[in-house]
Amino acid sequence: MSGSDLVFNLSPGGHLSGEIRVAGDKSISHRAIMLGSLANGVTEISGFLEGDDSLATLNAFRAMGVQIDGPTNGNVTIHGVGMHGLKPPEGVLDLGNSGTSMRLLSGLLSGQSFDVEMVGDRSLNARPMKRITVPLAMMGAVVEGTDAGTPPLKVKGGQQLKGILYKMPMASAQVKSSLLLAGLYAEGETCVIEPAPTRDHTERMLQGFGYEVRVNGHAASLSGGGELQATRIDVPADISSATFFMVGAAIAPNSDVLLQHVGINPTRIGVINILRQMGGAIEVQNERVVGGEPVADIRVRSSQLRGIQIPQDQVPLAIDEFPALFVAAACAEGETVLTGAEELRVKETDRIQVMADGLKALGVAATPTADGMVIRGGEISGGCVDSGGDHRIAMSFAMAALRASGEIKILDCANVNTSFPGFVALAQRAGLSITSDHQG
């Protein structure tokens, strides 16, 4: 079955209500598999996201000889092999659509004794990898891509890595994490300095596995040569997945939704801050810490949103949530302006262009710019939108139907399974009038 033949069909109107627990956090699910595999002892994970991306990471470690039981209803048991227990895989590691898997594994595999080749699907094979291969080379790693700096990537084993001080030219949690994971195998200290804060799940989880990470302002550092000790991880619900329901509840009249057990890591809450600035009625309740990660229940009710100039300091904290926020902007009074988000052009798709095209197809005044978008709120008509195979774009436009005047059809939706399997069923239960079908 090709990915292009899954279509979402949406009837206009409706509202969202009830208590919802969305899929587990993708970033944390990836990292739990990686660190659990390298730890001494047995790591138990609950709430694991059974989406294609995190399963790509799980299958990569299985291919390198790690015994992993599950996932069964989000429960995974990893029999760790220690820092030097991975074995060469028999073939290439196919990471599908998952940029996180490929970028983080590039660092982790740089410290192994064997060679590995990593490939991806068409979308992943077009994504930029020099941002990691260049600093990894400074550490002594050998990671080779195509002449264009894209996958497939070949990692040569048996290199002696050395710690470096690296000032990142752009804010990227994947680059930071890749270098820290390589640093586990490097001689001396590896220190990464970021220009703006990005998600810190790697630093938190390393500490959860008993590895010392020093965080000082914008700098994270660790020394090589330590060990990881197995632990228990309860993966919080993914705030990126919760975002679709937050936006849906904010824009649809008479909505009232409680999103349960959502990760509210301070490096990820840009969407809450931005929606509140737009006038969204959002309450964060029952805050607690689970496995080193802050978690809360989030209540969202319908509200009249207004357009804003999105603060630049919130952009890295909401980078994955902008497709949904663009839909919120389309329903807001006045103009919303986003700048400083050029990173959106090199995600699973060029999210600025694909979102602008989709909004225009639904009658919304959306003007893409080099590093963002200008959106004038107004009526949303029915129409046909091409998601470009991008899961976040497909789910964002699904929520737009709550305020649309006609039916919306969304093409190329199969990749929703990369981050949010079960999205359609959960959205139906919450009140969205959505069906999916395969068109040959």
* Domain match, 412 and 319 both: yes
Choosing from 234, 256, 277, the residue where a domain stops is 234
Give the pLDDT of residue 171.
86
Give the pLDDT of residue 1.
33
Q: Which domain holds residue 138?
A: 26-234
Which is the catalytic residue, given 320, 386, 390, 412? 320
3-state secondary structure of 437: strand
H/E element, 282: strand 281-290
| CA distance linking residue 200 with residue 36, whole number of Å | 17
User: Once rounded to an integer, what is the mean pLDDT over residues 178-201?
Assistant: 96
* Domain match, 53 and 189 both: yes
Choosing from 184, 213, 234, the residue where a domain stops is 234
Number of domains in the chain: 2
User: Once rounded to an integer, what is the mean pLDDT over residues 13-38?
Assistant: 96
Give residue-wise pLDDT tens across range 334-349: 999 999 999 898 787 8
- Work out the pLDDT band at 434, boundaries 50, 70, 90: very high
* Domain match, 169 and 253 both: no
H/E element, 272: helix 270-277
What's the Rg (C-alpha) of the chain? 21
* Domain match, 219 and 314 both: no
* Domain match, 268 and 402 both: yes
Q: Whole-number mean pLDDT of the chain? A: 95
* Domain match, 82 and 92 both: yes
Helices and strands (DSSP H and E) totals, the chain: 13, 23
Give residue-wise pLDDT tens across range 82-141: 999 999 999 999 999 999 999 999 999 999 999 999 999 998 999 999 999 999 999 999
Residue 280, CA distances (Å) to 162, 274, 299, 393, 398 in order: 48, 9, 11, 21, 19
* Domain match, 320 and 179 both: no
Give the pLDDT of residue 2.
42
pLDDT at residue 218 tops 80: yes
Please say whether the dihedral angle defined by the alpha carbons of residues 51, 55, 56 and 57, taken in this order, is positive or negative. Answer: positive
* Domain match, 20 and 33 both: no
List residues bridging with 333 in a β-sheet. 306
412 is catalytic: no
Domain with 283 in it: what CATH number? 3.65.10.10
Give the pLDDT of residue 349.
85
Give residue-wise pLDDT tens across range 4-16: 589 999 999 999 9
Choosing from 234, 249, 270, the residue where a domain stops is 234
Q: By percentage, how much of the chain surpasses pLDDT 90?
A: 92
* Domain match, 280 and 423 both: yes
* Domain match, 175 and 301 both: no
Give the pLDDT of residue 3.
44
* Domain match, 270 and 337 both: yes
3-state secondary structure of 63: helix
